[in-house]
Chains A and B, each alone.
Chain A
Amino acid sequence: MAVRDYIRVRFFPHLWCPGCGHGTVMGSMIRAIERLGIHKNDIVVVSGIGCSSRICGYLDFHTLHTVHGRALAFATGVKLSRPELTVIAPMGDGDAFAIGGNHLIHAARRNIDITAIIMNNSIYGMTGGQYSPTTGYGDLATTAPYGNIDRSFDLVNLAVGAGATFVARTTTYHVTSMIKTMEKAITHKGFSVVEVLSQCPTYYGRRNKFATPVDMLNFYKTNTTTIGSKDKEKNPNLIERGIFVQEERPEYCEEYAKVIERASQGG
């Protein structure tokens, strides 16, 4: 099938700004799903609120666009009641790590088979550019006019710490590896977190000395490196990308199936 076959063309044009990275993420998601050959009827996409969450409406799967921060809680309900479905939760950094942080760490702890794709643009875009948990120290935002003094989260470390069994980071510049990473994340049995650095030229870039979206993509190109590379040794400030964790651990729905088995045998 062509990419177009996975899109609800009726609902286009999309609402993202010119130069936004989220369309690239959506394209990569579609290509990953296409390569995996999963039937469209078997995929449920659950999102929260924010620019990234609008991916939901444009995709021709079962789509659930919920309330701010709670995508994984709704997704847990879907997955546990129909474990045979593939459940993907596209989220933003504010959605996943601020208002929804609790659900993320507990989904990771349970190791429920959901793929969280977190578009990290370091800003609240939908509301007009307020600082988020991933906005860098000193960055400017509409609510940080004198510079941000919050320390930013390292999403990968957080996900690893919470016990996610698949954790990866990629960027909208590295599209080929993003697609491959998503394929692996969706295939992985357990809770997967894929952080995608995705540019917001309108609200982050303009305020933080990125004149164009291309400048931001170039930043992803020059300021990231593969995990454990020599470049990282030379320059510790480089952001690592790649698969940080990929391990097998009992999956929640499979464990619950055992509970059902025990309960129906009378305990």
Chain B
Amino acid sequence: MEGALYSGLEFFAGYPITPSTEIAELLSYRLPARGGRFIQMEDELSSMCAIVGASLTGKKVMTATSGPGFSLKQEAIGFAVMTETPCVIVDIQRGGPSTGLPTSGSQGDVMQARWGTHGEHAIIALTASNNQDAFAMTIEAFNLSETFRTPVILLLDEVVAHTRERLIMPKPGEIPVVERLHTSVQEGTDYHPYLPREDGRLPMSDFGGVHRYNVTGLAHDMWGFPTTNPAIVHDLMRHLVDKIEGHTNEITRVKEFFVDDAECLLISYGSAARTALHVVENRRDRGEKLGLLELQTLWPFPADVVKKRCASFDCVVVVEMNMGQILHEVRSVVNDPSKVFLANKIDGTFIAPNDILDILRIIQGKGA
């Protein structure tokens, strides 16, 4: 929330849902005090739609939700993908499916973040394991959203969201904030809202400005007008995917702990990475060389970094609170998938050091 305000958040629409409601409550207090706008909409769908509408007027926008609400928002998230409208969606993951475990942590929405909306598309999803990183990743989310004109999912979980810990607020300007790229096309000259520049970026023009154009969820041409022309549709689809997948390394954020001399590598993210880091540090004290690769970018999946980092290990353990959503991604990029193992928890309780240590003992042939 503080990260969003630091980024210049101006508009928030939301709907109450545990465990993300605190974000809405705080913003209803903080946003108007700085001239921003908060609205509690009638449902999850409309809050997603409202932020897209507000974004098109030139505002930095965000909504926050949890699993069931995230499902309801998916159609409009796809609309933001298709219309290339910058926005940030916070999903505080809780136990699912369905109503599941509203007050328990989970990392079960990793694939929903990737493939929740229908149709071929690319998406950016970031995560964080502590308050300070959540602050930084929120700013990243806004920056990437503006840079690539795409919805960015901030995939936190109940544990991170409800943990009270120290946050050191950077001074304004200390962390770079990306502002919207506006078109330099003057009034009276044709502005093509969906004609990418050579670098793939599309400068925007705000609703209410001098350029009047059409925004549609239908496949569209450079004017934003619906088309079924196969060549134009093909180019649009390639653009939507390539603008993100083609910049995966630029979007990738990871943290490494004791990786260089490690004999076994843990890969984790979000709150699970807290436990993983604890295990790594604890084992180091006992002379066991464990390392941790903490992923902060989940989508596009940082395939190059993971592949490179895993190459030298005979043992890789993915630590996550689901049944292996990132495990499969890791296995698909490493040379030998049989050396990648899973340490997980799916019962709503927080993953404990022993959950990881048990797996390590089995791998090392020491028995459970």
How far apart sit A67 and B212, CA to CA, in the bound complex (Å)?
Answer: 20
Whether B49 contacts A66 by the Cβ 8 Å rule is yes
Whether B207 contacts A82 by the Cβ 8 Å rule is yes
Give a binary string over A230-267; 1 marks a CB under 8 Å from any B CB, 0 the rest: 00000000000000000000000000100110111010
Tell me the minimal C-beta distance from A195 to chain B in angstroms: 21
Instruction: Name the CB-closest residue of A to B76.
Output: A67
Q: Which residues of B contact A (CB under 8 A)?
A: 10-11, 13, 29, 32-35, 37, 39, 41-43, 45-47, 49-57, 59, 61, 75-76, 79, 207-210, 212-218, 223, 225-226
Residues of A within 8 A of B207 (CB): 44, 62, 64, 78, 82, 85
How far apart sit A60 and B214, CA to CA, in the bound complex (Å)?
Answer: 9
CB pairs A–B below 8 angstroms (8 shown): A11-B225, A61-B212, A64-B56, A70-B45, A74-B53, A77-B50, A77-B55, A78-B56
- Residue of B55, B76, B212 touching A70 (CB-CB under 8 A): B76
Whether A65 contacts B32 by the Cβ 8 Å rule is no
Q: Check A102/B42 contact, CB under 8 A, given A67-B49, A76-B53.
A: yes
Instruction: Name the CB-closest residue of A to B75.
Output: A67
Tell me the minimal C-beta distance from B362 to chain A in angstroms: 48
How far apart sit A42 and B214, CA to CA, in the bound complex (Å)?
Answer: 15
How far apart sit A77 and B49, CA to CA, in the bound complex (Å)?
Answer: 7
Residues of A within 8 A of B208 (CB): 41-42, 44, 62, 82, 84-85
Q: Check A10/B32 contact, CB under 8 A, given A67-B79, A73-B41, A76-B39.
A: no
Known: A42-B208, A77-B61. 8 other contacts (CB 8 A): A11-B225, A65-B216, A77-B13, A77-B52, A81-B59, A259-B32, A264-B33, A264-B34
Q: Is A56 an interface residue (CB 8 A)?
A: yes
Whether A57 contacts B49 by the Cβ 8 Å rule is no
Whether A70 contacts B32 by the Cβ 8 Å rule is no
Tell me the minimal C-beta distance from B227 to chain A in angstroms: 10
Residues of A within 8 A of B45 (CB): 70, 73
How far apart sit A161 and B10, CA to CA, in the bound complex (Å)?
Answer: 33
How far apart sit A10 and B227, CA to CA, in the bound complex (Å)?
Answer: 13
Q: Is A40 an interface residue (CB 8 A)?
A: yes
Tell me the minimal C-beta distance from B297 to chain A in angstroms: 28
Tell me the minimal C-beta distance from A225 to chain B in angstroms: 35
Instruction: Name the CB-closest residue of B to A69.
Output: B45
Identify the 3 closest CB pairs spanning chains A and B, nearest first: A77-B53, A77-B50, A73-B46
Tell me the minimal C-beta distance from B146 to chain A in angstroms: 16
Residues of B within 8 A of A75 (CB): 53
Whether A78 contacts B57 by the Cβ 8 Å rule is yes
Tell me the minimal C-beta distance from A265 to chain B in angstroms: 9
How far apart sit A102 and B59, CA to CA, in the bound complex (Å)?
Answer: 25
How far apart sit A85 and B53, CA to CA, in the bound complex (Å)?
Answer: 13
How far apart sit A261 and B75, CA to CA, in the bound complex (Å)?
Answer: 35
Q: Is A188 an interface residue (CB 8 A)?
A: no
Residues of A within 8 A of B223 (CB): 10-11
How far apart sit A137 and B240, CA to CA, in the bound complex (Å)?
Answer: 46
Q: Is A184 an interface residue (CB 8 A)?
A: no
Residues of A within 8 A of B217 (CB): 65-67
Tell me the minimal C-beta distance from A82 to chain B in angstroms: 4
Q: Check A63/B212 contact, CB under 8 A, given A76-B50, A78-B57, A80-B54.
A: yes
Tell me the minimal C-beta distance from A135 to chain B in angstroms: 25
Residues of B within 8 A of A11 (CB): 223, 225
Q: Check A77/B54 contact, CB under 8 A, given A60-B212, A62-B213, A85-B208.
A: yes
Tell me the minimal C-beta distance from A45 to chain B in angstroms: 10
Q: Is A106 an interface residue (CB 8 A)?
A: yes
- Residue of B11, B213, B218 touching A77 (CB-CB under 8 A): B11
Residues of B within 8 A of A63 (CB): 212-215
How far apart sit A40 and B208, CA to CA, in the bound complex (Å)?
Answer: 9
- Residue of A46, A78, A82, A263 touching B32 (CB-CB under 8 A): A263
Give the most central of B49, B61, B217, B226: most A CB within 10 Å: B49
How far apart sit A73 and B43, CA to CA, in the bound complex (Å)?
Answer: 10
Residues of B within 8 A of A67 (CB): 49, 75-76, 79, 217
Whether B41 contacts A66 by the Cβ 8 Å rule is no
Instruction: Name the CB-closest residue of B to A63.
Output: B214
How far apart sit A60 and B223, CA to CA, in the bound complex (Å)?
Answer: 12
Q: Is A207 an interface residue (CB 8 A)?
A: no
Tell me the minimal C-beta distance from A105 to chain B in angstroms: 8
How far apart sit A146 and B11, CA to CA, in the bound complex (Å)?
Answer: 49
Give the most central of A75, A81, A260: most B CB within 10 Å: A81
